[in-house]
Homo-oligomer: A and B are copies of this chain.
């Protein structure tokens, strides 16, 4: 089990990130990912900054769609932690069981056709070139 830095034991710079996570997410809970990253404060700060902007900043994609995309990537990469945490986040933002099933079906299908395109060495259609 990786070492986690609890709020009480955190340096000021780490605590500032924790405070922002809590404020942004409107919860006191800080999940393990951040408490482990806190071992290297610059990575904690930079990663949180990016995740915050990309997942909660202004944009045309709504929060649930953003989480579905995050889960799709994590499942494709087989990242157990990310699958567990972002599936939970997607549920919290309104993902139903049916949506989850559909999401998995699309991810599975894309992984299937990605390999068919590779293996059959399909050339890109002229109309798909920008």
Contacts and interface: CB of A to CB of B under 8 A. Distances in A.
Given A59-B98, A73-B76, A119 B104 contact: yes
Interface residues of A, number: 81
Contacts of A59: 98, 102
A3 B124 contact: no
B37 A114 contact: no
A82 interface: yes
B120 A36 contact: yes
Given A39-B120, A73-B110, A61 B115 contact: no
A31 B128 contact: yes
A65 B57 CA distance: 19
Question: Which of A82, A98, A118 has the most chain B CB atoms inside 10 A of its CB?
Answer: A118
A122 B81 CA distance: 7
Contact of A75 (B40, B57, B84, B119): B119
Given A2-B130, A42-B105, A118-B78, A60 B111 contact: no
A23 interface: no
A10 to B, nearest CB: 16
Contacts of A55: 106, 109
